[in-house]
Structure 1
Amino acid sequence: MNLELYRVFYVTATEKSFSKAAAKLYITQPSVSHAIKQLEEMLEVQLFTRHAKGVELTKEGEAIYPSIQQALGSINQAEQLLQELKQLEGGRVTIGGSDSTFKYFVLPSIQRFQARYPNIHIRLQHGSTPQIIEKLDNGSIDFGFVHLPVRERHVEIQPFLTISSLFVVGEQNRELAERPLPLEEVLDYPLITFSESSSSTQFLQRLFERQGLHVQPDIEVGSVELLIECVKLGMGVAFVTKDFVLRELEKGELMPLQMKEPIEQRAIGIVTKRGQPLSLAAKVFLEGLHQEREKM
Structure 2
Amino acid sequence: MDSRQLSYFLVLAETKNFTRAAEKLHIAQPALSMTIKKLEQQLGLCLFARNDRKVELTDEGKVLLPHAKNIIQQIKDAQTAMSELRGLEKGEVRVGIPSMLGSYFFPEIIMGFKNQYPNLKLSIVEAGTQSIRKMIIDGELDFGVIINHELPETLHPEPILKSQMVAVVSEQHEFATRKSLSFQDFFSQELVMFKHGYFHRETIDSICEKHQFTPKISFETNLLAMIFKIVRQDFAITTLLEMVTEYEPQLIPIPFEEPIELDIVMAWRKSGYLSLADKAFIDYVKQHCPR
Give the TM-score, by structure 2 length.
0.65
Label 1:185 to 1:109 Cα distance change in 2 as closer, same or farther (>3 A): closer
- Paired residue for 1:194? 194
Alpha-carbon deviation of 1:121? 0.8
Alpha-carbon deviation of 1:83? 5.0
Secondary structure in 2 matching 1:176: coil
- In the aligned structure 1, how far is the partner of 2:255 from the partner of 2:280? 42
- In the aligned structure 2, how far is the partner of 1:194 from the partner of 1:210? 19
- Give the fraction of aligned pairs with identical amino acids, expressed as a percent: 21
Alpha-carbon deviation of 1:190? 0.9
Secondary structure in 1 matching 2:105: helix
Normalized per residue, the structure richer in helix is: 1
- Paired residue for 2:39? none
C-alpha offsets along residues 178-228 of structure 1, whole Å, 9 cap, x if unaligned? 245432222332111111332111211222333332224121121222111
Structure 1 stretches of 5 or more lacking a match? 1-79
Alpha-carbon deviation of 1:159? 0.9
Would you say the 8 A contact 1:155–1:273 is kept in 2?
yes
- Paired residue for 2:253? 256
Partner AA of 2:190 in structure 1 = P
Alpha-carbon deviation of 1:145? 0.8
Label 1:187 to 1:264 Cα distance change in 2 as closer, same or farther (>3 A): closer
Partner AA of 2:134 in structure 1 = E
- Paired residue for 1:12? none
Structure with larger Rg:
1
Partner AA of 2:286 in structure 1 = H
How do 1:51-130 and structure 2 match up within 5 A? 86-87=87-88, 89-130=89-130
Alpha-carbon deviation of 1:239? 1.3
- In the aligned structure 1, how far is the partner of 2:260 from the partner of 2:151? 20
- Paired residue for 1:209? 209
C-alpha offsets along residues 149-192 of structure 1, whole Å, 9 cap, x if unaligned? 1331111111111111111111331x312245432222332111
Would you say the 8 A contact 2:130–2:197 is kept in 1?
no
Alpha-carbon deviation of 1:230? 0.6
- Paired residue for 1:160? 160
Give the TM-score, by structure 1 length.
0.64
- Paired residue for 1:291? 287
- In the aligned structure 2, how far is the partner of 1:111 from the partner of 1:85? 28
Alpha-carbon deviation of 1:102? 1.9
Alpha-carbon deviation of 1:281? 1.0
- Paired residue for 1:72? none
Structure 2 stretches of 5 or more lacking a match? 1-80
How do 1:161-240 and structure 2 match up within 5 A? 161-173=161-173, 175-179=174-178, 180-240=180-240
- In the aligned structure 2, how far is the partner of 1:172 from the partner of 1:96? 36
Secondary structure in 2 matching 1:205: helix
- In the aligned structure 1, how far is the partner of 2:103 from the partner of 2:238? 20
Partner AA of 1:282 in structure 2 = D
Secondary structure in 1 matching 2:156: strand
- Paired residue for 1:135? 135
- In the aligned structure 2, how far is the partner of 1:172 from the partner of 1:280? 51
1:241 aligns with 2:232: no
- Paired residue for 2:271? 275
